[in-house]
Amino acid sequence: PSSTSLTHRARGLFRKGLGTATRTWVGFGRADPKSWKHRLYSAGQRIYKRIDFEELALAGIEPALGPAVGRDTQGLGERALREAGERGERRALQIPLLYPPSHPAPLPHLQQLVAHRAPSHRRSLTLYCILMPLTAPFALVPVIPNIPFFYCAWRAWGHYRAYRAATYLDKLINSHTIVPTPSPLLDKLYAGFPSLQPTLPPADARAPAAAASTPSSASPASSASSSSSPSPSPSSSSEPQDPAAPYLLLNTHDIRTLIRAFALPEESATELEIALAQARARVG
């Protein structure tokens, strides 16, 4: 058989195994709350919520569904897209990166995200691939499933998807296929959100809060939620406001507004809630 047929067969077997594992995991969540299956499911969900939302966002990108592009370091693709837009034409290889016009264009931030995440996920993938054969002998224990092995396999798969998406985004950026596109709708939505106003924290707490504010995400909603700070306390309400201080732009109720406005799938709510909670925790 050819290498192509073997590749398709391997992918089919992997999808079948992944589907079986997913159905088994969902079944654990429906088990008796007092059983070990449900307790294991609850622990797994807590671990899932602690995964960096940047990794979850990258893992949600499927390069096979996107355009195949090469490198365009001279900016020819971007120039062609701009000229086509002036002529009123639409180009197939144009991926808009929506952002509110009142905020800076997020493309430099996306470049930093990809440059940091790609090698990080590659190292983690290598680590978990090394741990998988070391945890495989736990399968000899009867009745109890090999939880360490499945955990290593799950994390290796997640890091692989994130690494593959990061390298794919890097190609899209270098080929100037991703085009920052102002979105008046986002501006309108953000203007109506009851966001927390930035306040000037005490001098001894100002530096740690600024250091903890490390926003990183490719989507408009999560990039907005990652610029955050703690709620203003009564003791600091009388202090002057610092325009440069990070503050929380979104809250949990705003997530439903974003999902309805951009017709996002319902499962996006969980990832956006995780991103919002982590952004809030990163600034203390």
**What are the sequence ranges of the domains in the chain?**
7-50, 52-89+105-182
Helices (H), the chain: 3-29, 36-50, 53-59, 76-86, 107-135, 147-174, 184-192, 203-212, 220-225, 252-261, 268-282
Per-residue pLDDT, averaged over 107-132, amounts to: 95
**Which pLDDT score, from 0 to 100, does residue 270 have?**
87
Angle at 43 between CA 41 and CA 44, to 5 degrees: 65
Long-range contacts of 261-270 (CB under 8 A, 24+ apart): 261/185, 261/189, 262/185
Lowest-confidence region among 20-34, 61-75, 131-145, 192-206 = 192-206
Lowest-confidence region among 61-70, 119-128, 213-222 = 213-222
**Which pLDDT score, from 0 to 100, does residue 72 have?**
52
**Which pLDDT score, from 0 to 100, does residue 217 have?**
40
| pTM as predicted | 0.69
End-to-end CA distance of the chain: 57
At residue 117 the predicted structure's pLDDT band, cuts being 50, 70 and 90, is very high
- At position 37, the amino acid (one-letter code) is K
**Which pLDDT score, from 0 to 100, does residue 29 have?**
85
**Which pLDDT score, from 0 to 100, does residue 57 have?**
93
